[in-house]
Amino acid sequence: MSARTTSNPLPFKRRLQHLPTPLADDVLAAFAVAADRLPAAPIDLWQDEVVAGVREKVDTTRLYQPIFDKPAERFTAAKGFEMLAPLSFHVRNKVQNTYQQRVNSGGIAAGSAYLRETIKKLTVVWHKYPFHKISGMKFVKQPEPVEQDDAVDKDEIENRLLAKASPFSAFRLLRHRKSTELKKASAIIADTCMQQVKEIAASADKEVAYFDAYDAAAKICQTWGVIPPYWNAVKRDHIEDAAECAILRMTCAKWWGRQLLKLRDQCCEHLCIVVGLVNQHTPFVSDECFSEWTSQQRTAMQWLESTMIENEAGVILPLIEAAMAGNANPSNRLVELIVRARGLDEMAEESGKIGFMVTLTCPSKFHMKSHKWDLNNAKTAQQYLVNVFAKIRAALSYRNIPFTGCRVTEPHKDSTPHWHMLCMVKPEHEMAVKAIIKKYAYEVDGDEPGAKEHRLLIEAIDKQKGCAVGYIIKYLSKNIMGEHMQGELDLETGKPVNEVAPRATAWANRHRIRQFQFYGTSSVQVWRELRRLKVGPQSPEIEAAKAAACNSDWKAFEYAMKNAQLSLNYEVTPQGNEYGEMTKRVQGISGIAFGEKRLIITRGERWKLRKANDDELEAYRTLKQRRKDLFTVNRAMNAESRLSRKELKDAMPKWSIALLPLPFGSPWTCRNNCTDPVLEEVDSRIIRHLAQVGITDPANIERLLFVGCRVMDADGGEWWVDDGQLRNEPYRYREIRDLPLDKLVSEMQSWGKTTEYSA
């Protein structure tokens, strides 16, 4: 068929269908001879006769490569699945099922096209991570030809053939978290860095040895896709101590193990996203990732329950009790976030600011479902949003526009993150702030289809519908544990919020994404340290901040911070870890007290970890069962009789040493019949029980039991001995905790004049 005989020449692929297969070799040979014989001629490759003329030689190999490409001809479904064999079962099963669906609907050609395209995408993603380099290491079987011999292990033969057939051969090291072979890889890389460092140290000048050795080890880090530690401190500031600490890290197998484990988690999830294992039915993360995260949480809880902490005074506490009393408890974390958001709203309303909600989404190239997807993961998309927000804040700072609020990062069903931001600004700055947000939100691919509809949404807060907290609280809740949202559906997935909330937490954990951030506010760590403060009355400035923190009043805390000027104080330990680095431990808070800078210790006690013995494990199991029984009984009651959340928390059985067997927790009686010092010795059990209320200082115990003085406990209450009985008066702050802040400050100032307490 000649192209000159038709007015509309057929496309190349359709022409290929009309070309007789048996004549293909003859046509190629005839064209090759004609190309060599004729120096120049405009030739139609589909014409029977070659027309003479002047032209340049044609690269026949390149022109005919789509037709006679032998590797493409040899590609079969069996060969494709053989290449995918080292990958996890979830990935292989998903690809095989989708391939079969394509074959059933479109034939072998459609199935092969899908399989070829999927392998291509998987290969691109696989080479974004350094594990394809591992196949050349000693502990991975090399693709050497092996004869079938009974003396050779069959597994070894299979591994060698697999390494030869598949580019994913090293993935078998990643099938399990913290696998032995991955630890071996970490040891080999650390050993390689050590060898490089030793060679540099032996040959280089002592003055530059650290920096040259750092460069050699950093080059290995960059080869493996790991950011070298202290890069700016060494390369920009030329700090020799930083280079030394960095070398100790880069030559440590444990450090390399943590880096490779982080890359392993991201790589496995990235491959699952490519084949479509993250979708509306399995949102945010794959089932494989969610199962691993759930197993991690279960293992961590078991370790917390089987570990005890004990201080120098003999106070024994299960580690899980201490952990659940802080922000590791999702309920406590949610309450703190809501309190902070409510404080921002109250401050904004008092100062005349207005609020609006901003939903910021990534361009289509970050979304897996888009044809423009560039095969990057959620971490890259999050970095894009961070950069956009940094530009927005820099532009506002340049214009001296105050900007407060909070943001929540949550995933789309395809794992791509998007932000919900609560913004508080003055009315005169509203238009400028919105214009800046729009400018940077549409800076990248702002004119692509769908950008105006989905990239950015700005919604004013309607006071008729509710306050700002009502707008942000649902995003806070459904990204922690979905508390207080029973029966609500997630708009992204259509599933109940309490079902998808754990998957959102697993998503943030796997991609190491910060979910919540407040900006333009005081330090929340100072707030937490004030709530830990157990000593007696402080100065009016510090006491006002403490009262606000203990009463969960963030607005009052912000105002009190302006007067107290509180900041964290750290206990610094030079060379405090195995890498020779300086370590910092929060010791307390420092601030203004009675016009002077003071230091308040909030973490004076030293605790040590130890494994729980059988008696302690049994005591905690009994306590858990009592708590479970209380939950069961309360759930079985009708709605009118059921305990409220606060009442249930107050009624919950607490841990105490009395739960332990007789040698630990037997009751004691004081042998003192008057306030005179008649005791000649103090039983160790008495010391333990006094420690439970915070009386641990030997001098205070002696004053209490021998001298007859009153002693203050950790909560500010007073203890004394009267008629052989231990008496207690609670801290009087509890009696005035409902006073307004200004009255509380004036009351505390009067205390300073009438009492003997000192700061």
Q: Per-residue confidence at 720, pLDDT binned at 50, 70, 90?
A: confident
Answer whether residue 703 shows pLDDT above 60.
yes
Higher pLDDT, 454 or 315: 454
Higher pLDDT, 667 or 186: 186
Q: Please report whether residue 300 resides in a domain.
A: no
Q: Please report whether residue 51 resides in a domain.
A: yes
Q: Per-residue confidence at 576, pLDDT binned at 50, 70, 90?
A: confident
Answer whether residue 554 shows pLDDT above 90.
yes
Quickly tell me which residue has 């079987």 as its tokens.
141
Q: Calculate mean pLDDT across residues 15-28.
A: 43
- pLDDT-wise least confident of 3-12, 71-80, 113-122, 578-587: 3-12
Given 21, 47, 73, the domain boundary residue is 73
As a whole number, the mean pLDDT across the chain is 78
Q: Calculate mean pLDDT across residues 175-179.
A: 85
Domain identity same for 272 and 341? no
Write out pLDDT tens, residues 27-40: 445 444 544 444 44
Given 29, 48, 73, the domain boundary residue is 73
Domain identity same for 95 and 66? no
Domain identity same for 123 and 272? yes
Q: Please report whether residue 625 resides in a domain.
A: no
Starting at the edge strand found earlier in the chain, the sheet holding 718-722 runs 711-712, 718-722, 725-729
Q: Please report whether residue 576 resides in a domain.
A: yes
Answer whether residue 444 shows pLDDT above 50.
yes
* C-alpha span between 361 and 454 (Å, rounded): 7
Write out pLDDT tens, residues 263-319: 999 999 999 999 999 988 899 999 999 999 999 999 999 999 999 998 877 788 899
User: CB neighbours of 636 closer than 8 A, spacing ≥ 6?
Assistant: none
What integer pLDDT is reported at residue 178 of this predicted model?
83
* C-alpha span between 113 and 240 (Å, rounded): 56
Q: Please report whether residue 165 resides in a domain.
A: yes
Q: Per-residue confidence at 744, pLDDT binned at 50, 70, 90?
A: low
User: Checking DSSP bridges between strand 607-611 and strand 725-729, what pairing results, if any?
Assistant: unpaired
Domain identity same for 140 and 272? yes
Q: Please report whether residue 128 resides in a domain.
A: yes
Domain identity same for 444 and 539? no
Answer whether residue 69 shows pLDDT above 60.
no
Q: Per-residue confidence at 723, pLDDT binned at 50, 70, 90?
A: low
Domain identity same for 691 and 556? no
* C-alpha span between 181 and 166 (Å, rounded): 19
* C-alpha span between 1 and 44 (Å, rounded): 11
* C-alpha span between 421 and 404 (Å, rounded): 10
What integer pLDDT is reported at residue 638 of this predicted model?
81
Q: Structure pTM?
A: 0.75
Given 251, 277, 303, the domain boundary residue is 277
What integer pLDDT is reported at residue 16 of this predicted model?
40
Domain identity same for 195 and 119? yes
Answer whether residue 394 shows pLDDT above 50.
yes
Residue 585: strand pairing partners: 571
Residue 477: phi and psi, rounded to 5, are: -70, -45
Q: Calculate mean pLDDT across residues 87-105.
A: 92
What integer pLDDT is reported at residue 396 of this predicted model?
94
Residues 501, 492: contact at Cβ < 8 Å?
no
Quickly tell me which residue has 């009067």 as its tokens.
750
Domain identity same for 509 and 561? no
Residue 519: phi and psi, rounded to 5, are: -135, 145
* Two tokens, residue 262: 């982080």
What integer pLDDT is reported at residue 685 of this predicted model?
60
Higher pLDDT, 602 or 750: 602
Domain identity same for 353 and 497? yes
Q: Please report whether residue 371 resides in a domain.
A: yes
* C-alpha span between 455 and 364 (Å, rounded): 9
What integer pLDDT is reported at residue 162 of this predicted model?
53
What integer pLDDT is reported at residue 464 of this predicted model?
76
What integer pLDDT is reported at residue 316 of this predicted model?
85
* C-alpha span between 457 and 671 (Å, rounded): 72
What integer pLDDT is reported at residue 24 of this predicted model?
42
Higher pLDDT, 643 or 102: 102
Q: Calculate mean pLDDT across residues 57-71.
A: 45
User: Checking DSSP bridges between strand 596-601 and strand 583-593, what pairing results, if any?
Assistant: antiparallel
What integer pLDDT is reported at residue 737 of this predicted model?
44
Q: Please report whether residue 302 resides in a domain.
A: no
What integer pLDDT is reported at residue 433 of this predicted model?
94
Total domains, the chain: 5
Write out pLDDT tens, residues 115-148: 999 999 999 999 999 888 876 554 444 444 444 4
- pLDDT-wise least confident of 243-252, 346-355, 619-628, 660-669: 660-669
Give me the active site residues, please: 471, 475
CATH code for the domain of 341: 3.30.70
* C-alpha span between 282 and 503 (Å, rounded): 9
Answer whether residue 528 shows pLDDT above 70.
yes
Higher pLDDT, 94 or 24: 94
Dihedral, CA atoms, 743, 746, 752, 753, nearest 10 degrees?
-120
Q: b/e map of 75-103 (b: 16 or more CB within 10 Å)?
A: bebeebeebbbbbbebbeebbeebbeebb
Answer whether residue 378 shows pLDDT above 90.
yes
Domain identity same for 145 and 241? yes
Residue 316: phi and psi, rounded to 5, are: -110, 130
> DSSP string of 93-128?
HHHHHHHHHHHHHHHHHHHHHHHHHHHHHHHHHHTT
Burial class (CB in 10 A: 0-12, 13-18, 19+), 739: middle
Domain identity same for 371 and 453? yes
Domain identity same for 477 and 539? no
Q: In terms of residue numbers, what domain contains 219? A: 75-277
What integer pLDDT is reported at residue 212 of this predicted model?
87
What integer pLDDT is reported at residue 756 of this predicted model?
38
- pLDDT-wise least confident of 102-106, 409-413, 445-449, 639-643: 639-643
Answer whether residue 379 shows pLDDT above 70.
yes
What integer pLDDT is reported at residue 121 of this predicted model?
93
Q: Calculate mean pLDDT across residues 384-408.
A: 94
Residues 540, 745: contact at Cβ < 8 Å?
yes
* Two tokens, residue 423: 């913004």
What integer pLDDT is reported at residue 307 of this predicted model?
93
Q: Which has the closest alpha carbon to 171: 158, 186, 181?
A: 181
Starting at the edge strand found earlier in the chain, the sheet holding 417-425 runs 456-460, 354-361, 417-425, 404-411, 516-519
